[in-house]
Amino acid sequence: MTTSTLPMLENYPQAISLDRIQLAATIDILDDCAEACTACADACLSEPDVAALVRCIRTNLDCADVCATTARVLSRHTGYDATIGRAMLQACVIACSACAHECGLHAEMHEHCGICADACRSCEQACRDLLAAMD
Amino acid sequence: MTTSTLPMLENYPQAISLDRIQLAATIDILDDCAEACTACADACLSEPDVAALVRCIRTNLDCADVCATTARVLSRHTGYDATIGRAMLQACVIACSACAHECGLHAEMHEHCGICADACRSCEQACRDLLAAMD
Amino acid sequence: MTTSTLPMLENYPQAISLDRIQLAATIDILDDCAEACTACADACLSEPDVAALVRCIRTNLDCADVCATTARVLSRHTGYDATIGRAMLQACVIACSACAHECGLHAEMHEHCGICADACRSCEQACRDLLAAMD
Amino acid sequence: MTTSTLPMLENYPQAISLDRIQLAATIDILDDCAEACTACADACLSEPDVAALVRCIRTNLDCADVCATTARVLSRHTGYDATIGRAMLQACVIACSACAHECGLHAEMHEHCGICADACRSCEQACRDLLAAMD
């Protein structure tokens, strides 16, 4: 689907110090990663080998929350203070990296873990790229 | 962007009582509406006539939270209990309808309110359609 | 601990149609229930019989999200529109009732499920009482 | 009120590397700060001088989201990985410090900003203390 993220940013009424296209793409990736992690935690819960997946589920839940909050912070530009956005991006890199690793361990057994690992890796990279652009 | 929502649903390891394509589309619309509402609240905060937009901001904040929670509930299928999903969809119809109305009042003045009103109307309709499909 | 909820409500600068003491108590109970459900989902994940607890975990996750959003909606009074608050309270009654039931099934085996079931029952009742006060 | 946080932690079925009393107190303070920030954003929206408070509102919204996510991450102990918790605590120190500063600027005019600034300062300190305990 075409999201509202870029049109909303293009109509933000004041200056934004970051490139709006890169920012919108990053927010979309964060929202997608949050969704994938929520779905992966639930899919893992329904697997017969759930006992082997508890660490994966936990990391999924953390990563979903961290990505969702990062997306919200990056969606706000009023009274811009780069320090909070930067700190959330750093936390998100760590959460996505941990979740990509955990899901990656189960990707051959469980296709949903493979899809989620890919979403986490894309998100980690997008967050790193935005952090680099903020410097 | 192509989201992970449908691939994740297609790889959920057990039965889902709803049509996976409709469900994935609804979740994507919910996530988009949550994002639009978060962005619209912030854009309103940066408008010179913010004092005229406080009701719009408040409704945006409610709608963002309600849509995000509805998307999460609909993304879980383990131990399926239709009653919580149905109640959240009903709350979401009300929140989206209220937010579409409020944003609609400012759509001529503020393009971001117009985009957000459209996102809310799409989301309200998708929630109504999914509720109908659940009966 | 003494929360900030009632002092914040007492200093809200405009009229609130509900009793501020009842409202603050309800919000505190909602926040506590959200916290208990998040913790119970995680404690269940660490139990040796996790496979028997997947439905409980799922309901905990839903209930945590629904309570957190209900608390947020009830914490906003600007541009008051009773319909969203009422719909969220109704969804919360359903989520808390379902979670109290699920956790109750495991309360003899797992003390954390017993504590969480109590938190859910208190929250369900507080939501019902606030709904009654809104009529 | 007496929260369920410590009883839930005391009944977590496996080892926790942190002191459970300090951890429970920190989670309670985080939940309280999230609640105060949500309420302060809304109270600011209802002030006649809302145009002077837009930066405060924005920081409140960020701080509410960051505190809520930090509380959730700290409430999970299964598959413990200190790096995510530490990164969220660092982000939370920054968000609380920024919000305490912003709200502090308006504390003489608006009692709700003073209460929220106190909640943010307590939360910042609790997060710093927990970070120190993690080393």
**What is the least distance, in Å, from the CA of B41 to any CA of chain C?**
13
Q: How many angstroms separate the Cα of D75 from the Cα of each of B118, B126, C77, D60, D65?
A: 37, 34, 29, 22, 15
pLDDT over 90 at B80, yes or no: no
* pLDDT band for position B75 (cuts 50, 70, 90): very high
| Residue B12, in any domain of the structure | no
The pLDDT of residue B29 is 98
| Residue B93, in any domain of the structure | yes
Q: Which chains have at least 3 CB atom pairs separated by less than 8 Å from chain C?
A: A, B, D
Residue D121, number of CB atoms within 10 A of its CB = 18
Contacts of C50 in chain A (CB under 8 A): 50-51, 54
| Residue C106, in any domain of the structure | yes
**What is the least distance, in Å, from the CA of A54 to any CA of chain C?**
6
Single-letter code of the amino acid located at C98:
A
Tens of pLDDT, residue by residue over A52-85, are: 999 999 999 999 999 999 999 999 999 988 999 9
* % of chain C beyond a pLDDT of 70: 100
DSSP letter, residue D14: S
Which residues are within 8 A (CB) of B132 and not within 5 positions of it... i.e. 6 or more apart?
Answer: none
Indicate the average pLDDT of chain B.
97
**Angle between helix A111-134 and helix A54-74 axes, rounded to 10 deg:** 40
| Residue B47, in any domain of the structure | yes
Q: Which of D41, D46, D50 sits opposite B50 (nearest CB)?
A: D50
Q: ipTM value, please give it.
A: 0.97
Nearest Cα to A16, choosing from A79, A71, A68? A79
Count of domains forming chain D: 1
The pLDDT of residue A135 is 84
Q: In angstroms, rounded to a whole number, what is the distance separating the alpha carbons of residues D34 and A30?
A: 22
Tens of pLDDT, residue by residue over D72-94, are: 999 999 998 899 999 999 999 99
The pLDDT of residue A1 is 74
| Residue C10, in any domain of the structure | no
The pLDDT of residue A80 is 86
The enclosing domain of B65 has a CATH number of 1.20.1270.360
The parent domain of residue C117 ranges over 18-134
Tens of pLDDT, residue by residue over A108-133, are: 999 999 999 999 999 999 999 999 99
Q: In angstroms, rounded to a whole number, what is the distance separating the alpha carbons of residues D72 and D50?
A: 31
Looking at residues B23-46, what average pLDDT do you find? 98
| Residue B70, in any domain of the structure | yes
Residue D135 or residue C91, greater confidence: C91
Residue D14 near residue D62, CB atoms below 8 Å: no
Low-confidence ranges of chain D (pLDDT < 70): none
Question: Taking CB atoms and an 8 Å limit, are D91 and A95 in contact across chains?
Answer: no
* pLDDT band for position A33 (cuts 50, 70, 90): very high
| Residue B5, in any domain of the structure | no
Q: What is the pTM of this model?
A: 0.98
**What is the least distance, in Å, from the CA of B89 to any CA of chain D?**
23
Task: Compute the C-alpha angle C104/C106/C110, nearest 5°.
Answer: 115
Residues of A engaging D, defined by a Cβ cutoff of 8 Å:
54-59, 61-62, 65-66, 68-69, 72-73, 76, 78-79, 81, 83-84, 87-88, 90-91, 94-95, 98, 102
